[in-house]
Amino acid sequence: MTGHPELDELELLAAGQGTDEIQKHALECAECAREVAWLKAEKTLFARRARPDVSALWSGIEARIAAKPLAPVLSLARRPRWQRPVAAVAGFAAAAAVALFFFHPKTIAPRPQPSIAQLQPTPAPAVQGQPKPRSHLDPKTLAALDTAEADYRHAAGILEAEYETLRPKLDPALAKRWDETLTRARTQLGESRAVAADDARARMRVLDGYAEYLRSLRDVIQDSEEATP
């Protein structure tokens, strides 16, 4: 061998994968032997480093993933004034879409829902003579639906809190309209969830409803941000 081997070759040697030729050279060349000793020392030092415990981080990631599509909206630059009515209309339309999305069971009286984050799955009311369709999905799928729903609730809770901070600065009439729209959406969402019980297809529709609700909240917040000085 003429000259010194490349660093990559010495790295392989330090990792125990060097060729015989490189190994022979390293035995005869003090400079390369020193380099290999350092490469091995580096590997040893870094291999000893502690593995951080990250188990507590996952729940935060899940929540952020659920809320993330909404996050950029919260920090959007203010739009021109002429766009505000458009945003308001779009926001109300999106909120109304929640109502259209769900079938509205007339057998259940509407009841106020204080916060979407407080919504919990409740057993379906018994309807005589009409057996509820049962899911053909396995418990894991239903558990996944539970998780997704919990994520949506968490994201909604974050956005509702955001809206609460902006609300006092809003025009009272506008705030009242938003409150009514969101309350109506929450009520219908809660009712649909109660009826869905553990029917997988109905649960999927509930998740779609949550997505619509989040979009509505996003629009409300966006408009609120623009409406506040």
Partner 1 sequence: MIFHRQAPGVRRFLGDLLRDDAAADEGTQETFVRAHQRLGTLEQPGALTGWLLGIARMVFFEQLRQKRRDGAQKASHDEDDDRPIQIDRAPDPEAMLLTGESNQMLDTALQTLSEDRRTCLLMKLDHDLPYGDIATAMGWPLQKVKNEIHRARLQLREQLLPYLEGRT
* Interface positions with partner 1 (CB under 8 A): 7-8, 30, 33-34, 37-38, 40-46, 48-54, 56-58, 60-61, 64-65, 68
Least distance from C-beta 133 to partner 1, angstroms? 33
Nearest distance, CB of residue 55 and partner 1, angstroms = 9
Burial of 152 (C-beta count, 10 Å sphere; 0-12/13-18/19+): buried
Measured from the CB atom, the residue of 54 and 126 that comes closer to partner 1 is 54
**What gap in Å lies between CA 78 and CA 67, rounded to an integer?**
21
**Nearest distance from residue 38's CB to partner 1, in Å?**
6
Cα–Cα distance for residue pair 12/95, rounded to 1 Å: 61
Q: Output 38 or 103, the one with its CB closest to partner 1.
A: 38
- Least Å from the CB of residue 203 to partner 1: 23
Annotate 98-163 with DSSP letters as a single string. Answer: HHHHS---TTS-----S-GGG----PPPP-TT-PPPPP-S-HHHHHHHHHHHHHHHHHHHHHHHHH
Compare residues 41 and 76 and give the one whose CB is closer to partner 1. Answer: 41
Whole-angstrom distance, CA of residue 148 vs CA of residue 206: 11
- Shortest Cβ 101–partner 1 spacing (Å): 25
- Report the residue number, 1 or 37, with the smaller CB distance to partner 1: 37
Cβ nearer to partner 1, comparing 41 with 161: 41
**Count of alpha carbons within 13 Å of 65, Cβ hemisphere only?**
10
